[in-house]
Every structure is written in C-alpha cells, then in structure tokens.
Chains A and B, each alone.
Chain A
Amino acid sequence: MRILVVDDDPSLCKAIVTFAQGLGHDGIAVLDACSALAQLELATESSTPFHVAIVDVNLPDLSGIELTAALCERRPDLWVLMCSAATSPIVVEACVRAGAKGWLRKPVEFVDLQIALAFVPTTGEGD
C-alpha cells in the first residue's frame, strides 16, 4: 500500500514511514496540509495513488478535519486514519463526518498502527 503521513512532528513522521516501509509499504510524510494536498495531486497524476492517509488532527495550516474532508472529496476511496491524542467526542464525530475511516491514538503504538492497517480494504497489493 502507498501511505501518506501528515503530521507536524517530523520524528513521528519518520518513525511511521520507516515502520511502514519495514512492513513492505511505500510511505511518504509531509508536515502540513497544503503539502499533503500537493502530494495527493502528484500521486494521482503519476498514477501511483495513495491507499491510506494518516492525518494528525492538529496541523499548522488547515486542521486535520479540513484536510480529511479535502482528501476524501478528491479521493473518496482513500482510507483516512486520524492520528491524535485528542479524544473529544465532538472532534471524533467531526472527523467521521469529514470522511475518516479509523483512529490512531497518540502516542502511537506500532502494533496499533499495524492493526489499523489490517482493517484497510485492499486488492491484495502489498498485503
């Protein structure tokens, strides 16, 4: 699977991408929402679309909720996993309405990430 990681914490981005690559996935990380939208467009243009986006709720430019809505509008089949320490029901419900499909609680445990990825519908590629 191709995974887009969007988080303003560079060390977390690096850790998730490295872990995903270790599982045989292809991961790219960006630190803000605008870069994520640019990467989504590039991936679509190059016919190497992302299957999963891991999106921090708090980003420096747009909110993770706004980014999720924008990602899902452009790519309805993209599986968006929200990543946050925040667990307010209002925030969670806003993420669901935006199109998120799953939730990773920070601090991220890699086994939780692996389990969340196990729930991503796949066509067998990278599975």
Chain B
Amino acid sequence: MRGLRSLVVEDDAGITRRLVQQLEFLGLDVTSADTAGAGLALVDAAIRASRPFDVCFVDLNLPDFPGLELIRSAAALSPAPYIVVVTGVTEPVVARACAQAGANWWVNKPFALVDIQIALAFMPPKATPSGEIIG
C-alpha cells in the first residue's frame, strides 16, 4: 500500500481527519477535498500532471453535487481511480447505482481501520513504469 496516492472527498471534517489518519498509518499519500467539485478538479489535475490518484474515497452526500455524480465523472477518466464509497447510506438501490456508475467498493460509516484495509486489499495491483507490481 505504501506510496499509493489517495484522495478523500468528504464534507465532515471529523470523518476526513479520521480517514486521513488511517490512510497515512497504512502508508498512503493522502489529499482531501470537502466538495465534489473540488474533488473532481483534483482528480482531473492529478491526471494532467501524470500523477493520478490510485484510490478515491467518496462520500455520497456532498454540499455541491451528489457523490454519485463525482463517481460517474471520475470513473470515466483515464486512468480511473479505484473508487471506494464511504457513506452512512445503507440502501442497496443506491449501492447498485454507485456500482453502475463505476464505484469499486463500499464502506459503511462508522468504519474501522480494518474496513479500509480490506477495501484496499481488493484494489487491482498497480503496475509501475518499471514494471514492478505494487499494492
């Protein structure tokens, strides 16, 4: 997991702080945004800078537009990040919509470190330019 680039898009500062701490503990580089628009801009800018995010943690209820739209937009980019929904919503129909929009994993709030570890364990391996497989 070390060295993976992650983005947290969450408008609750307490949850962001906790998730950032957990990801840093696991050795990831972490950036955060508190709106969907800011998150999508960061994803796009990272791709343009040839330093794309490997994984994005996305809340569904964001202040500017729904996390579902952020998921759909981020998943359509290339390379698309591995997208983990982090939410208090527990409606399967919403989960299905997220999966269809391109989300890869779902973590219910409140979450524990192990939930984040499991989500990251299921990420597809990432090939580095040197051909090394990490993650």
Contact = CB atoms under 8 A, between A and B. Distances in A.
A77 interface: no
A102 interface: yes
A103 B117 CA distance: 11
B95 A87 contact: no
B114 A87 contact: yes
B121 A115 contact: no
A92 B106 contact: no
A119 B85 CA distance: 12
A23 to B, nearest CB: 9
A92 B90 contact: no
Contacts of B98: 118
A3 to B, nearest CB: 15
A118 B121 contact: no
A102 B122 contact: yes
B41 interface: no
A112 B108 contact: yes
A89 B122 contact: no
B122 A111 contact: no
B118 A115 contact: no
Contact of B99 (A93, A111, A114, A118): A118
A103 B118 CA distance: 8
Given A87-B114, A115-B90, A119-B106, A96 B95 contact: no
B95 A115 contact: yes
Interface string B82-104: 00000000101101101100011
A118 B118 contact: no
A96 B92 contact: no
A20 to B, nearest CB: 12
Contacts of B118: 87, 92, 103
B117 A111 contact: no
A96 B96 contact: no
Contact of B92 (A92, A103, A117): A117
10 contacts: A87-B114, A87-B117, A96-B121, A101-B122, A115-B95, A115-B106, A116-B106, A118-B92, A118-B95, A118-B98
3 tightest CB-CB pairs across the interface, nearest first?
A118-B95, A114-B92, A118-B96
Given A96-B122, A118-B92, 10 more contacts: A87-B114, A87-B117, A87-B118, A89-B117, A89-B121, A100-B122, A115-B108, A117-B92, A118-B95, A118-B106
